[in-house]
Amino acid sequence: MEHYTAQIQYDRRNVMRMAHVVRYAFEKVTPPLLQLSGMAIMGAGFYRMYVAGDGLPLLILGILIVTNADVRGRAMGRKMCKFMDGWWPLMKFSFEEDGIHSETDRETMVAPYSSVIRLIDERAFYYVFTGPNTAFMIDKSTLSPKDQDGFMVMLLQRTGQEWTAAGGFPWTIRGLMLKKKNRELRQKLNEK
């Protein structure tokens, strides 16, 4: 099996991005659903204002929901940034037979593949969860070798976890695309 390495340079933006994914990785309510419900409440408010003139509270509630759909995710990100206290490490990963080896200028650790509870594939990053609030964020552009499908197959095989999207609903477009991708990855795994 191929030997993979990758890394991530943490900064405020990446920590906020990671907090968003960590927040929604295990929750059933995703921001788009909150925003849609907020828009529906705003629509009901407009309708009530047009029909009866008393829809202002609904309109305000809808606006608050739409504009603050990710308040808890942002708050979690700010806490994580405060915890980092200005330390923005470069974390290097090596995917060995015994687990995921990670290294910064301050620490080195090994996470066995059996500890992985969820794999998330997002646009520019992979997230490998070893707990509900603990994840490795891996920058896809730093993956070496550049075989993303091979990397996904390797983690699928070693962890026993399927790739998912952040958020709890598997029937979103992204979730359905990843279900298809998992089938293709399993087929590649069976061919080996």
In a domain, 113, yes or no: yes
In a domain, 94, yes or no: yes
According to the model, what pLDDT value does residue 169 have? 53
CA trace torsion 132, 73, 78, 126 (10° rounding): 60
In a domain, 85, yes or no: yes
In a domain, 16, yes or no: no
Q: Tell me how far apart the 2 most distant CA atoms of the chain are, in Å.
A: 68
The pair phi, psi for residue 35, each rounded to 5°, is: -65, -40
Q: Give the CA count within 13 Å in the CB-facing half-sphere of 90.
A: 3
Spatial neighbors of 143 by CB under 8 A, at least 6 apart, are: 4, 5, 6, 151
According to the model, what pLDDT value does residue 127 have? 93
Here the CATH number for the domain that contains residue 155 is 2.30.29
Give the residue numbers spanning the domain of 92.
Answer: 4-11+79-191
Tokens linked to 174: 């992204």
In a domain, 130, yes or no: yes
The pair phi, psi for residue 8, each rounded to 5°, is: -145, 135
Q: What residue ranges of the chain have pLDDT lower than 70?
A: 1, 27-31, 68-72, 167-174, 192
In a domain, 34, yes or no: no
pTM: 0.74
Residue type, 50: Y
In a domain, 22, yes or no: no
Q: Report the domain count for the chain.
A: 1
According to the model, what pLDDT value does residue 176 have? 73
Look at strands 99-103 and 134-139 and give their pairing: unpaired
Cross-strand pairs, 101? 94, 110
According to the model, what pLDDT value does residue 143 have? 96
In a domain, 38, yes or no: no
